[in-house]
Amino acid sequence: MKEERRKKKALQAAGKAAVPAALPSQSAAVAAPTKAQVPDTLVAFLFPGQGSQAVGMLKECKDIPAVQKMLATAQKVLGYDLLKLCLEGPKEKLDDTVYSQPALFVAGLAAVEKLRAEDPKLVDSCSAAAGLSLGEYCALVFAGALSFEDGLKVVKRRGESMAAAAKQGKPHGMLSIIGLSDAVLEDVCAKACAKTGGDTVCRIANYLFPTGRVASGHKDALAEVASLATAAGAMKAVPLAVSGAFHTPLMQPAREALIEVLGSVTFTEPRMPVYSNVTGAPFAGASEIAGMLARQLVEPVQWERTITALVKDAKKEQLLELGPGAQIKAMVKRIDMGVWKAMKNVSV
């Protein structure tokens, strides 16, 4: 009976907001973090999101016993050989949302185990975590808010439902834009929607670093955005290799599927502050997590705010990126050069 009440509460929380809520400015102060169960230190772990995957990842850590255990669990949950896919590809399959999300989830946590084997004290010294989009699930598992198996179960459904939502309606996707203020880019998106008309969706979906944004929506509107943004002085306006308009209301069908699976897993209080993509502030507690994860699919990712909060408010000076590539490090360079210089990558 208690379990049924818990699931009902999670579903109700996840179902609250389907559209972006009003958020403070990028420079606004964040809420105080949840009381941590680990000592406060200067160290924070960051986990990358979709787009950082690459054929050959996991090669460096596949023989670590803890990673082998994760891969065995992945075989059971996913029903296919994830290690083989990561090592051998093909790239087209690994890049598919259905496969890239579970692969990156495992890779991020495998990077933790690689670091633990090399420097266990550094792992133990971490006192805050965050992840970009999909990487948020790695951060939650690392912080003890969700078990690895439950996290993988949710990520599997998330990838499948996002891929399915991407196929609905007229084509949609994402566009990286660098060099415009938010006010100018918002005006560009509004003009693109007005020109394409109807029920067109086009909005800023990722706030990554100063003047580094991603617009997300229908492809006809994004083509117009690319043209208008370039004319307005953007340094870059390039389509991303993704299957759909992530972090917009076009992902509502995926959100509904995600709410269902989130209601089937157990969240506990994280042992350290974990920063939410939706607010750029730490989750207030376990009861908030499911709802925020559901909102994340249809609302913008506040990554610049997250890094600023970690560095300026939480005073984190040593950031580590755990997972393939250097996606996050490149963004941190545009936010805080001093912290970037001290940043370390733990690649797999």
180 and 129, same structural domain?
no
Say how many domains are in the chain: 2
58 secondary structure, DSSP code: T
Contact predicate 73/141, CB 8 Å: no
Indicate the residue among 239, 265, 282 that finishes a domain: 239
Q: Which residues are catalytic?
A: 133, 247
Q: Domain span at residue 287?
A: 2-166+248-346
Is the CA virtual torsion 187, 188, 194, 200 positive or negative? negative
Q: Do 264 and 340 reside in the same domain of the chain?
A: yes
Q: How far apart are CA 263 and CA 280, in angstroms?
A: 24
**Which pLDDT belongs to residue 29?**
34
Specify the CATH number for the domain of residue 123: 3.40.366.10
Residue 189 sits in the same domain as residue 324: no
Residues 25 and 148 in one domain: yes
Same domain, 180 and 47: no
Is there a single domain that holds both residue 232 and residue 253? no
67 and 117 in a common domain: yes
pLDDT digits (tens, 9 = 90+) for 278-333: 999 999 999 999 999 999 999 999 999 999 999 999 999 999 999 999 999 999 99
pLDDT digits (tens, 9 = 90+) for 220-257: 999 999 999 999 999 999 999 888 999 999 999 999 99
Asked if the model's pLDDT at residue 78 lies above 90, the reply is yes
Same domain for 190 and 305, yes or no, is: no
308, 26 contact by CB (below 8 A): yes
Q: What is the mean pLDDT of residues 186-207?
A: 95
Residue 36's pLDDT band, with cuts at 50, 70 and 90, is low
Residues 80 and 189 in one domain: no
Dist. CA 289–CA 145, nearest whole Å: 9
In a shared domain, residues 160 and 56: yes
Q: List the CATH number of the domain containing 218.
A: 3.30.70.250
CA torsion through residues 119, 123, 129, 134, sign: positive
pLDDT in tens, 114-129: 999 999 999 999 999 9
